């Protein structure tokens, strides 16, 4: 019997604020895997569009330049990095302006083609395996992932979590903004936010972050000990 641990690809999808980033980073760190935040990539391309004066309400204008920005993502879960044309984008992609425009930009099919290709090449280069988090990883980007998780939580729990990050923020307004973004991400034509048929759904509403991390680590370990059955 070999001592080498097989590479594993884990897809973690779900709506905003369900704990995808926190869980994915912790699971990747615990298991020695790489980590990819695909939302950061859509935020990065959105930031580039805004910085270059592209009208984000004009899908044709976005499509015409979708291949221009050079986006690079680091995959160290302890220090996730993202650059656009060589510039550190980790701060600018978290602004309210980018958050309010990212659903429109990420709905453009040409944008999704560019970013999906990038995500697949990063995943295939991860020798030890990778945890990839987003909205369409299990359904579209990596349909053959070894394990697919779909995280959910009530809008109230998600809004409370998000509001906890920003002192003095309005929980009701945060809740409405989350619901609006989820509706846009779920209703777009090209690879919408959706649970893959073979994903394991984990409702995190009443779970602590530590409980969610332990649950996902257990699921990965179980998958590693019982390889996926391939349909013939
Ligand atoms: N189970 C949990 N219990 C309490 N707080 C949590 C839980 N999971 C995540 N959080 C907190 O909720 C906030 C949002 O989590 P996180 O950024 O991981 O969500 P996300 O699904 O990646 O969101 P988005 O899609 O908007 O990027 C963070 O402050 C995180 O610490
Ligand atoms: N695989 C993905 C990941 C993200 N998006 C879009 C939709 C989200 O609203 C936005 C930002 O993601 P977040 O940083 O909040 O995780 O990016 C997508 O379409 N597909």
Distance 22 CA to ligand 2 centre (A): 15
Going from the Cα of 230 to the center of ligand 1, the distance in angstroms, rounded, reads 33
Phi, psi (deg, nearest 5) at residue 186: -85, -20
Tokens for 131, please give them. Answer: 């945890």
Complex-level ipTM beyond the 0.85 threshold:
yes
**Residue 14 counted as an annotated binding residue:** yes
- Which of 12, 14, 15, 21 best tests ligand 1's pocket when mutated (most atoms within 8 Å of CB)? 21
Query: Does any ligand 2 atom lie closer than 6 A to the CB of residue 38?
Result: yes
Among 11, 14, 16, 17, the mutation site with the greatest number of ligand 1 atoms within 8 A of its Cβ is 17
- Is 121 annotated as a binding-site member? no
Contact predicate 196/150, CB 8 Å? yes
- pLDDT the model gives residue 170: 87
| 134 CA → ligand 2 middle, Å | 6
Closest CA to 63 of 113, 108, 94: 108
- The reply to whether CATH 3.40.50.300 applies to domain 9-220 is yes
Distance 4 CA to ligand 2 centre (A): 34
- Name the pLDDT band for 168 (thresholds 50, 70, 90): confident
pTM exceeds 0.90 for this model: yes
Domain spans, the chain: 9-220
DSSP line for 159-208: HHHHHHHSTT--HHHHHHHHHHHHHHHHH-SSS-S---TTPEEEE-TTS-
Ligand 2 touching residue 14 (CB < 6 A): no
Residue 22, marked binder? yes
Q: What is the pLDDT of residues 104-162, one digit of tens each?
A: 999 999 999 999 999 999 999 999 999 999 999 999 999 999 999 999 999 999 999 98
pLDDT per residue over 54-73, tens digit each?
999 999 999 999 999 999 99
For residue 94 the two structure tokens come to 């978290």
Mean pLDDT over residues 22-42, rounded?
A: 98
Task: Give the pLDDT of residue 4.
Answer: 59
């Amino acid at each position: 019997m070999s001592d080498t641990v097989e590479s594993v690809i884990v897809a973690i999808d779900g709506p905003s604020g369900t704990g995808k980033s926190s869980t994915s980073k912790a699971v990747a760190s615990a298991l020695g895997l790489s980590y990819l935040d695909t939302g950061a990539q859509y935020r990065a391309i959105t930031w580039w569009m805004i910085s270059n004066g592209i009208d984000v309400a004009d899908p044709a204008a976005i499509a015409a330049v979708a291949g221009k920005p050079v986006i690079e993502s680091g995959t160290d879960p302890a220090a996730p990095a993202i650059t656009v044309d060589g510039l550190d984008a980790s701060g600018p992609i978290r602004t309210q302006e980018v958050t309010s425009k990212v659903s429109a930009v990420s709905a453009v099919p040409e944008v999704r083609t560019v970013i999906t290709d990038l995500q697949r090449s990063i995943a295939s280069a991860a020798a030890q395996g990778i945890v990839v988090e987003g909205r369409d990883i299990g359904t579209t980007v990596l349909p053959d992932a070894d394990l697919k998780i779909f995280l959910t939580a009530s809008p109230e729990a998600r809004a409370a979590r998000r509001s906890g990050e920003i002192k003095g923020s309005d929980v009701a307004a945060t809740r409405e903004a989350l619901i609006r973004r989820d509706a846009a991400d779920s209703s777009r034509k090209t690879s919408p936010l959706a649970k893959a048929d073979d994903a394991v759904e984990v409702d995190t509403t009443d779970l602590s972050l530590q409980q969610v991390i332990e649950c996902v680590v257990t699921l990965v370990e179980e998958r590693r000990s019982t390889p996926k059955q391939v349909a013939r």
